Structure 1
């Protein structure tokens, strides 16, 4: 059996997490602290060690009260080697016991585990991205079902994404783009667009202004400036984020905020103005972010989000087409799963919460697409 230890030191936590398989930036100390500061989730970080004292798994668990009830969430975690069935079983058993002890309505996990690659079904998209199941992911799914976990009706993070292999040369990365995207990447420099680092505090206001324009254009609600200052500045200061601005004659045209941790970088935020769009600033911006991630030793670039259904009816279709143009592989994750200590309470909660969320939406508190990379042009 593994030994679970509560970690209370930020540096020790990130150091242990960084080298684990399936480690994710949403499991870092900073993400838990951000969620606590902004939304009231209470983080706890557990490291799991084997008999030799080696850390083999980690889970940052967020807990929140909803009236008299309590819910628990492990965003993009836990982190561990999911091909090791014994470790998977031990960690799941600990999480289940903790949920029972806390009398939680549910405990949700959303590990960075691939169920398969490519696009199932028929049609042009499926032909371009042939589907293949991942054996490890399929075993994890079978384990969760066998232990009574439920596929969550609330998929907090994206189940699907596109990732780019950064171990390739820059020439190979360019060659892997579709012809239209490659042409648009090259348009920016020809039309005097430049890209620079935008990590200074003054730049955050510029990024926010561009984000408000993007939100108005694409129809999503923007939170107050202080929210994004907290999100972006906290991670930039911790060395876990890098911001960029694309400019023309000193005028900001587009921005991008890249999060990075372990072996991977994630395109979390994209924003652009409504002017000078023919200069294709977002394409050059994306390419420079990819080049930055590669130059800094990251092996994978995650475009963070793709449709659940790969056809034009999906609201993310335009976003997907933009990202897909850069090449890469469609990744289908296993998604979020709920452990339910008390099925009756869970059923009542699931019936009532949609009504509560509907009232919140009517009040204008619509979820903002922090993680959509919601810039498609």
Structure 2
């Protein structure tokens, strides 16, 4: 059933890439992180990538795009499948065959650890099934995550008025207040990445979190824009950019991956205006869901009980994102496949530091 192990790199976009991306877009667990362009982006910043896929009766039915990178002062090489593999987890034979072929890819490239983070939403049924799969396939569940497991999904299927009505009253008020206070939002282009990068640096310093290099956001826009998979929105007042978001769309989901704001005119609520513009764009693209991407890894009860008095980590982010009226969803988390126990201990020590 194995069809290809395909190197992606910087080669021209091919028919095979188009077929893969169509598969990702239509898969129930598909994600922007499994697209060809995501591999191209990561290839520019220290990762290599390979793709394994499977066919049945000529039809692509399962696969994984695997990223590789050296870690722990280059002493450890890890393999990573963000939001994958894409497989029917209820089909034991399909899962076994695909994991065996992933093992082969990992072995040939000398990685000691494989980390997988499937985009499977947690529920009693999926959690029980996932635990059984991990036991059957000798996977170590509940390991450290790279992508945030907890997110907020906004349903874009209702009318714009109903989407607004589903938001918290304060958020809805702030969106309208921004317009009253003269904030305008426009869709930007490549020439606006410099302004976005400047706001990203300010945001990182203000909120104390790491940001990518300016070249990263430029590359992300350059790679995804030709296929209409990314949009940059800027909220401005008096010609000055006050906030910006970069949103990526694939299939029925748009994901808010990067956002920034200046320290100026914050009372004009530009961050609310720019998010609302991005949601309307996503709806126009045919997306059913707007993924606000990352909130603290806690239950909804704990989030609601603590967001008013906590500002560490992603808690301030949750206070903002909860207002848009979405539903909290958590993935089943990360799982590791260990090929070298000694190296895995070194990896854990490095991650704990």
What TM-score do the two structures reach when normalised by structure 2?
A: 0.88
The alpha carbon displacement at 1:342 in A equals: 2.8
Q: Aligned runs of 1:120-269 on 2, under 5 Å? A: 133=124, 135-151=125-141, 153-199=143-189, 201-269=190-258
Match of 2:288 among 285, 299, 320: 299
1:60 matched to 2:65:
yes
2:263 is matched with which residue? 274
The alpha carbon displacement at 1:102 in A equals: 4.5
Distance 2:195 2:294 in 1: 24
1:44 is matched with which residue? 50
Q: State how many pairs are aligned.
A: 334
Distance 1:88 1:183 in 2: 48
Distance 1:110 1:176 in 2: 30
Question: Which sections of structure 2, spanning at least 5 residues, go unmatched?
Answer: 8-13
2:272 is matched with which residue? 283
Deviation by residue 1:192-248 (Cα, 9 ceiling, x = unmatched): 21111012x211111111111111211124443222211222222332110001111
Indicate how the Cα distance of structure 1 residues 183 and 299 shifts in structure 2: closer, same or farther if over 3 A, else same.
Answer: same
Distance 1:222 1:307 in 2: 18
The alpha carbon displacement at 1:16 in A equals: 3.1
Distance 1:87 1:306 in 2: 33
- Assess if the C-alpha contact under 8 Å between 2:39 and 2:49 holds in 1: yes
What TM-score do the two structures reach when normalised by structure 1?
A: 0.82
Indicate how the Cα distance of structure 1 residues 153 and 208 shifts in structure 2: closer, same or farther if over 3 A, else same.
Answer: same
Q: Which moved more, 1:227-236 or 1:104-113?
A: 227-236
- Assess if the C-alpha contact under 8 Å between 1:181 and 1:283 holds in 2: yes
- Assess if the C-alpha contact under 8 Å between 2:140 and 2:335 holds in 1: yes
The alpha carbon displacement at 1:108 in A equals: 0.9
Deviation by residue 1:167-190 (Cα, 9 ceiling, x = unmatched): 112122111111111111111111
Match of 1:12 among 16, 19, 28: 19
Indicate how the Cα distance of structure 1 residues 62 and 327 shifts in structure 2: closer, same or farther if over 3 A, else same.
Answer: same
Question: Which sections of structure 1, spanning at least 5 residues, go unmatched?
Answer: 117-132, 359-377
- Assess if the C-alpha contact under 8 Å between 2:115 and 2:335 holds in 1: yes
1:21 matched to 2:10:
no
The alpha carbon displacement at 1:59 in A equals: 0.6
The alpha carbon displacement at 1:78 in A equals: 1.2
Distance 1:70 1:228 in 2: 25
1:115 matched to 2:122:
yes
Match of 1:71 among 78, 82, 101: 78
Distance 1:57 1:193 in 2: 46
- Assess if the C-alpha contact under 8 Å between 2:40 and 2:223 holds in 1: no
The alpha carbon displacement at 1:97 in A equals: 4.3
